[in-house]
Chains A and B, each alone.
Chain A
Amino acid sequence: MTRLGFDDVGFTYPGATVPALTGCSFAAGAGAVTWLTGALGAGTSTALLLAAGLAPMHTGGLRTGRIHTLGLDPAEDGAARALGGRVALVLSTPATQLSGIAETVAQEVAFAPANLGWPRDRIHAGVGRALEALAIPHLATRDPTTLSGGEMQRVVIAAMLVLEPELWLLDEPTSALDVDGRALLHRLLRSEALRGAAVVVASEDADGLATVADRLVVLTAGRVALDGVPQDLLRGDRIWDAGAGSTSIGTLARVAGVAAPRPLSVDEGVARWAR
């Protein structure tokens, strides 16, 4: 079941001469982790903002083509309200994603459910579960603005998880996370997909997502260049032509002149190269 669909979408930011997206088409289904990647400026972040309806509503600019997010065009009047609480958006800069009025992490996570008018009991239970899922119950009474970047990123993700969204849109969500945090987030993305949510994650972290994502969509200059199974695409050459790259080991193998299909993980590398 498709939760997010792009059909021939184009978008140009105000004042820009080059479109950020052109003729972009892809879909993301429920129960799957769809991974968007591309060179810097390829348009992955823009695609997420369009999917959430924040572009062009907040950013200005001109959109063409069709987008449906949970069956609605997010740019239409009233869509924002109808999608409220059903779509989670996580950006790479956690400090700017805080509500600005929470004095504790618990209040921060409760912000969106309270805005949606959930009953108190449901909010408290949901906040507890979300903190648990991000392994941060010990931070519940801390001031969110004084946390480290990694802790803050977990709080911001918990603040979305509490809504049990139908669609996740994550933009470089691991930028501030340490090794443990990355592993935890990757497990969370899988379990959210298992719960039936559609997960769309724009990321550079091939080492992390190679084994997490079900689908890989590679954007080049605002167009979909590749769309397929990550493990296949990462082993081949076309992903490099598209301006993206592979895992650390895949990169090493390519530089070392190993022909496709190349090894991706440390284990595969050992199997390939051990005498």
Chain B
Amino acid sequence: MNARLLALLPAAIAINLVIGGLVNALGLPLYLDSIGTILAAVLAGPAVGMLVGAIGQLLFGLINGYQWIPFGLIQLVIAALAGLAAAHGGFRSSSVTLAWGLLTGLVAGALSSVISYVLFKGVTATGTTAVVTLLRQLGWSLPVAVTASSLLLDLVDKAAAFLLVGALVRALPLRMMGRFPRAARAVGR
């Protein structure tokens, strides 16, 4: 592995794990814990994004408990989709970016509902689980409640993450853009 990747990966992983704190300070119901994964996929390709997602999930598990490891699968899918979007100029405008973000949110939400229903019996992170409990109280069946709440949260979160990365990459300074040729393609330049 070359020195630039050795420098890029820890930064991207740390962004995944830390950025939520900044958004929390604004009191917004977002995690954005895939920003580093998406950014790495856009700048250096889906394989690098996947590595960021995988190692990030390993470390997140070390700090918060390994029970959440299965959700790491979602990070890999996000990296793949972000890489695909980047290769097709998917970050060239906010509307196109939003479309890719919603698509990714849909896939991520579907996957996460399967994981949380099968492996976690619907009880995972408290934000989603609170919604699940509420829906269940209203008489929804458990699988439906889990799917609906995962989709809702993931659609918003992944769309926001894509939009943010898109805005960042479109406004990247020339020098950085020059050093990441993939980024130029991602924004259609």
Instruction: Give chain A's interface residues, CB within 8 Å of chain B.
Output: 13-16, 58-61, 100
CB–CB B179/A59 < 8 A: yes
CB–CB A61/B3 < 8 A: no
Total contacts A-B at CB 8 Å: 25
How far does the alpha carbon of A13 sit from the alpha carbon of B174 in the complex, in Å? 9
Q: What is the predominant secondary structure among interface residues of chain B facing chain A?
A: helix
CB–CB A16/B174 < 8 A: yes
Which residues of B lie under 8 Å from residue A58 when comparing CB positions? 3-4, 179
CB–CB B178/A14 < 8 A: yes
Within 8 A of A (CB), among B12-42: none
CB–CB A13/B178 < 8 A: yes
Which of under 10, 10 to 19, 20 to 34, or 35 or more describes the interface residues of B? 10 to 19
CB–CB A14/B179 < 8 A: yes
How far does the alpha carbon of A58 sit from the alpha carbon of B175 in the complex, in Å? 12
Q: Could you say which of B4, B7, B10, B175 contacts A14, with CB atoms under 8 Å apart?
A: B175
Confirm or deny: B177 has a beta carbon within 8 angstroms of a beta carbon on chain A: yes
Q: Report the nearest B residue to A61, measured CB to CB.
A: B178
Of all A-B residue pairs in the complex, the 3 with the closest CB atoms, nearest first, are A14-B178, A15-B174, A15-B178
How far does the alpha carbon of A15 sit from the alpha carbon of B183 in the complex, in Å? 13
CB–CB B10/A100 < 8 A: yes
Q: Could you say which of A15, A59, A61, A100 contacts B177, with CB atoms under 8 Å apart?
A: A15
The 0/1 profile, CB within 8 Å of A marked 1, for residues 132-175 of chain B is: 00000000000000000000000000000000000000000011
Which residues of A lie under 8 Å from residue B177 when comparing CB positions? 14-15
CB pairs A–B below 8 angstroms (11 shown): A14-B175, A14-B178, A14-B179, A15-B174, A15-B175, A58-B3, A58-B4, A59-B178, A59-B179, A60-B178, A100-B7
A202 CB → nearest B CB, Å: 19
CB–CB A13/B3 < 8 A: no
Which residues of A lie under 8 Å from residue B10 when comparing CB positions? 100
How far does the alpha carbon of A60 sit from the alpha carbon of B179 in the complex, in Å? 6
A23 CB → nearest B CB, Å: 22
Not counting A14-B177, A15-B175, A60-B178, a sample of 19 additional A-B residue pairs whose C-beta atoms are within 8 angstroms of each other reads A13-B175, A13-B178, A14-B174, A14-B175, A14-B178, A14-B179, A15-B174, A15-B177, A16-B178, A58-B3, A58-B4, A58-B179, A59-B178, A59-B179, A60-B179, A60-B181, A61-B178, A100-B7, A100-B10
A62 CB → nearest B CB, Å: 11
How far does the alpha carbon of A58 sit from the alpha carbon of B2 in the complex, in Å? 10
How far does the alpha carbon of A60 sit from the alpha carbon of B7 in the complex, in Å? 16
Q: Report the nearest B residue to A100, measured CB to CB.
A: B10
How far does the alpha carbon of A15 sit from the alpha carbon of B10 in the complex, in Å? 26
A21 CB → nearest B CB, Å: 16
Which residues of B lie under 8 Å from residue A61 when comparing CB positions? 178
Which residues of A lie under 8 Å from residue B174 when comparing CB positions? 14-16
